[in-house]
Amino acid sequence: MVTSADVRRELARLADPRRAEASSRFLQMVPGGYGEGDRALGVSVPDQRKLVARFWRDLSLAETTKLLTEGAHEERLTSLLILVRKFAKGDEQERGQIFGTVLANTSSIDNWDLVDSSAPYIVGPWLIHRDRDVLDRLAESSLVWERRTAIMATFAFIKAGDFEWTFRLGDRLLHDPHDLVRKAVGWMLREVGNRDRAAEEDFLARRYRVMPRVMLRYAIEKFEPQRRREYLSGNL
């Protein structure tokens, strides 16, 4: 039987102290950073994906959850990548269990890369044809990672041509105090624009003067240079 300890041993074998130091800085695992208290092993994402391909079938949901709740950063990310693979291949019951596991362990999904590797591929897809009120609850959370999860989950809806909840949560999070939520909202608005420019600009028209600058910059990143200047100058 494959266990979380087996995955940990493989990750430890691949660990690189220099990469760990760089990851710690990049993901702000330093005093005062948003990732303070976390620990990096220094394993690249491609190497983690190779382990996912080896272990995802044989690692039980319980053992995958143990890896998520007890592990260092790459251990948690690997567990989430395994959950994403299990979700994509699972039946309705297993997918529901995985969705529940993610929502029950948001305290362990505590950096932007962990959120972005799971919310658009598990939370959003599960909710596409279901009640989405849980996203309102997440968007009201005091935990920044739950608020980012809420808006990032809408990426699945956007891909399906449904922008309603991106705009709904975009309004709710318009003045969020955390830069990582502001960036995520801008990113999702940009993804709407990649599919329906008019819909994005209609949303921006009534809000671009009051939204945080970083959110606006992310939202209009793919616009033509002149159009970006018009938004940034407030002279539309």
Give the type of residue at 177: P
**pLDDT of amino acid 71:** 84
The token duo for 207 is 């809000």
Which DSSP category does 108 fall into? Answer: G
Asked whether the whole model's pTM tops 0.85, one would answer: yes
Q: Please, what is the angle between helix 179-195 and helix 164-172, to 10°?
A: 150
Residue 1: per-residue pLDDT: 87
Question: Alpha helix locations (H) across 90-220?
Answer: 92-104, 112-116, 124-127, 133-139, 144-159, 164-172, 179-195, 197-205, 213-219
The DSSP code for 163 is: -
State residue 228's pLDDT score. 96
pLDDT (tens digit per residue) in 125-163: 999 999 999 999 999 999 999 999 999 999 999 999 999
Distance CA 36, CA 24 (A): 9
pLDDT tens for 170-192 read 999 999 999 999 999 999 999 99
